[in-house]
Structure 1
Amino acid sequence: MNSTLIQMTLLTACGVVWRLLQPAGLSAMQTRVVLTSVVYYLLMPAMILDVLWQTDMGIHSLQYTLLGWGSLSFAVVCAWLIGWLFRFDNKRLGTVILASAFPNVTYLGLPIIEQTFGPWARSVVIQMDVISAAPYLFTVGLLIARHYGDEEKPRSPWLALNAPPFWTAALAIALNMGGVPAPDWLVGALQKLSAAAAPLMIFSLGLALDWRTISWRNMPYMLPVLLIKMLAMPFGAWFLASHLALDAPHQAAAVLDLAMPSMLLGIVFCDRFRLDSPLYAMAVTVTTFASLLALPLWHGFLVHS
């Protein structure tokens, strides 16, 4: 686990250095938009098709959905209770809920989980994302952001599901259930595209991290985010997973995936719904660096529990 985190830290540091030096005059924002677009529209669909087409889907898939939705709901309730108790204003409360509840299950979770547990764990992460965390985010998460924020042109949250990863997942599941064999030439191409996704994800994360987002004014809001993200939510996920029909390795991989720091996509939600974007950017930076300490501890607990 420590070796994996060192590798991830080095790749992240490359993104941070790029942000500082701006080679060829390319800013971190310009570079990140291009790279994340390539990942979102090409590499991630290729990985989803490769994994879900050949994965033995069944009761485990339902378990991942229950685990994800249950754990995310627990974190949402915890964040709401803290915000209500301390009377956070609406924009900050919405931001704290998003930062506390939604983990970076794919962009950071995928490379860490796969490197830690092995190639088989890629299927766990993909299923935790496309059939659990992402649908919850684009329905419940959008409703939360809309409720506490201010949207100029309201749209149905279900429209967010009209995206390449979801269409690819639907195609892959249909091919899987239909027993259609995957041609070797296509599998080879998909695997080569998939191999490029993880390092670009981590590099893009480094491009997004910015110490300038850290403000003493926002420090009181960081404590509940850290407590929920690094402690309460993983513990709740472990407790729920222990009551589901998952074997120990799959249980550990799924729970560790939910213990990842705040997702990057949340900044888009904050911008769109006029929540506190600087606060959310700070949460991503702080929880990402805090995870370097928390993830090894959770990994040790999960593999020995």
Structure 2
Amino acid sequence: MPSWLLATLALLAPALLGILAGALSLFDEPERAIDNLNRFALSFAFPALIWTGIAGSDFGAPTQLGFWLVVPGVLLVSVALARALAPRHASTLALVCAFGNVAYLGLPIVEQVLGAEVMGTASLATGIHVTLALTVGPYLLLRWDPGRGDSASAARAPPMQLLRQPLLWAPPLGFAAHALGPEARAAAVSVLQPLGRAAAPVALFVLGLYLACHRHRLRSLGLGDALHVVFKLLAMPALTFAAAWGAHRLGWLGLAQAQVLCLLSTMPAAITTFAIAKGAQRGTEAIARAIVLTTLVSGLTIPCAAYLVTTWLPTW
């Protein structure tokens, strides 16, 4: 069995356990368990994983322009297409496009498929994604919602929400740790590494539990749900591969960076998008169905992407 496929399948175990826990009703309040485990992973485990990925290596901030332009450029084109082609669904499409599951699924898959040596790059790319996800996504959800009314006060919330997000601060603090002496930095990394290693299995278990608890949402699918899958799992990855190829040919993007960006672009909608939609009281049902549906379909698309980034991209 190819190593990329074996690495991808190895990530299914925690998710399957989550599905099993939901099916057997092992939690008295599964929604509360999802919320609490989600908070733990988002606020502690993943920031620790990103921090140790940068602080624990000799990784330096990328200087090539393409690394900084591909993600926002693809997002800009994607939301513009959503607005032009599907205005009725543009608000939820914008949030789903902006907030992919780049932390919960993306970082573990990148490490399994591309190796630990690219985790510094992947951690920084995740920081870019999260920054855009917590600003552009919620703003457009409110701005483009057909029944939004006066949402000016709600539209001012994302900046403060962004500043409170530990995932945003993990990359710069990881770079700042390089100012410490080697021994102090190594000690800090050794303390936080076990917490970071808990991120992937906890997050994947939460994902499986969420799928089990929300499987009923698949009973009422429509054209809008198909559009969320097409935009998130087909259009955005295709645009990312094209942008990465062009940037690489121009000398603006290294191969390893292109592999990371392309693989992260294939992630499904993040579970956190439901919390954002619920807080804004906009599009909660559409977002919930998008999370479940894109996650299930990504079981087919992620292995395909893993194959492409490990066999086709090196030929560039």
C-alpha distance 185-292 of structure 1, shift in aligned 2 (>3 A): same
8 Å contact 1:11–1:206 — kept in the other structure? yes
8 Å contact 1:82–1:224 — kept in the other structure? no
8 Å contact 2:123–2:171 — kept in the other structure? no
8 Å contact 2:93–2:231 — kept in the other structure? no
| 1:265 maps onto 2:272 in alignment | yes
Post-superposition offset of 1:62: 5.3
- 1:304 is matched with which residue: 303, 307, 312? 312
Q: What is the aligned partner in structure 1 of residue 296 from structure 2? A: 289
Q: What is the aligned partner in structure 2 of residue 214 from structure 1? A: 218
Post-superposition offset of 1:267: 0.6
Post-superposition offset of 1:168: 3.4
- 1:120 is matched with which residue: 117, 120, 130? 117
TM-align CA RMSD: 2.2
| 1:98 maps onto 2:95 in alignment | yes
- 1:278 is matched with which residue: 266, 282, 285? 285
Structure 1, unmatched stretches of 5+, are: none
Structure 2, unmatched stretches of 5+, are: none
C-alpha distance 258-278 of structure 1, shift in aligned 2 (>3 A): same
Q: What is the aligned partner in structure 2 of residue 229 from structure 1? A: 232
Post-superposition offset of 1:118: 0.8
Deviates more, 1:272-281 or 1:282-291: 272-281
Among the aligned pairs, what percent are the same residue? 23
Post-superposition offset of 1:100: 3.7
TM normalised by structure 2 equals 0.85
User: 2-side partners of 1:249 and 1:169: how far apart?
Assistant: 18
Q: What is the aligned partner in structure 1 of residue 167 from structure 2? A: 165
Q: What is the aligned partner in structure 2 of residue 137 from structure 1? A: 133
Letter in 2 for 1:7: A
The one-character-per-residue Cα deviations of 1:32-91 (angstroms, maximum 9, x if unpaired) are 22222222222222222212223422335754331211122222122222213xxx2xxx
Post-superposition offset of 1:167: 3.1
Q: What is the aligned partner in structure 2 of residue 52 from structure 1? A: 54
Q: What is the aligned partner in structure 2 of residue 203 from structure 1? A: 205
Q: What is the aligned partner in structure 2 of residue 256 from structure 1? A: 263
8 Å contact 1:109–1:257 — kept in the other structure? yes
8 Å contact 2:8–2:112 — kept in the other structure? no
Alignment map for 1:5-44 (pairs within 5 Å): 5-23=8-26, 25-44=27-46
Letter in 1 for 2:257: H
| 1:148 maps onto 2:144 in alignment | yes
TM normalised by structure 1 equals 0.88
Deviates more, 1:205-214 or 1:49-58: 49-58
C-alpha distance 292-264 of structure 1, shift in aligned 2 (>3 A): same
Letter in 2 for 1:159: M
Post-superposition offset of 1:12: 1.0
User: 2-side partners of 1:72 and 1:223: how far apart?
Assistant: 19
Letter in 2 for 1:304: W
